[in-house]
Amino acid sequence: SNMLLAFTALFVLAFAMINQNKDISKSSVEVKAEFIITMSWPDDMDNDIDLYIEDPLGNLVFFRSREVGLMHLDRDDLGFKNDTVDTPQGPVKYPYNREIVTFRGYHVGEYCVNAHAYKTNDKRPCPVVVQIDKLNPTMKTLMISNVVLESQGDEKTVIRFKLNKDGMIESSNTIQKKIVGKPGQTFEVPSSP
């Protein structure tokens, strides 16, 4: 009976420590996003289209700089190449061509959103759609904008927008601004086939 009593006491102590750790993790990390920018292109096109976003401080998020400032590239889509993920339960298919950037916060000023045709296996022009969603206090689509990338290596500014202190878009334009290949980026764009 002493062993049963000791075992019960250890169980109660372990259970209390587990609950204490859960409370600490909940209070110390707040998972929050302010904006989501989603770029998509037709699901039947095997193209690697990259999303580039420059914030008002000059931070640039893209596939080689996935977390910078308050921006995080959550999905880097490679066309058909990463549509299937192997899991212990078998392959899972995600057939959507989509890149997603989350803003954990924001700065007042201009953001520039560019689309770049990094690798085109499909020879047709590629229509690209960018959607900007504000998440707080409730989800609201602020803007949807379109461009067409003509061939591999093509880069276009989809939208440039200015956020005010309340996180609302106060102005926007499509004045082109080259972002790909800015100083500090060290990668080569594949040559056209």
Closest of 30, 53, 45 to residue 80, by C-alpha: 45
Q: What is the mean pLDDT of residues 145-154?
A: 95
pLDDT one-digit tens code per residue, 170-187: 999 999 999 998 655 444
Closest of 102, 109, 105 to residue 55, by C-alpha: 109
Q: Residue 59 has what pLDDT?
A: 95
pLDDT one-digit tens code per residue, 37-91: 999 999 898 999 999 999 999 999 999 998 999 999 988 877 777 667 778 888 7
Residues 149/142, Cβ–Cβ less than 8 Å: no
C-alpha dist (Å) from residue 135 to 7, 89, 95, 132, 141: 48, 33, 25, 10, 9
Stretch among 35-49, 82-96, 129-143, 144-158 having the lowest mean pLDDT: 82-96
Question: Does 2 score more than 80 pLDDT?
Answer: no
The torsion angle over the Cα atoms of residues 52, 132, 142 and 55, rounded to 10 degrees, is -40
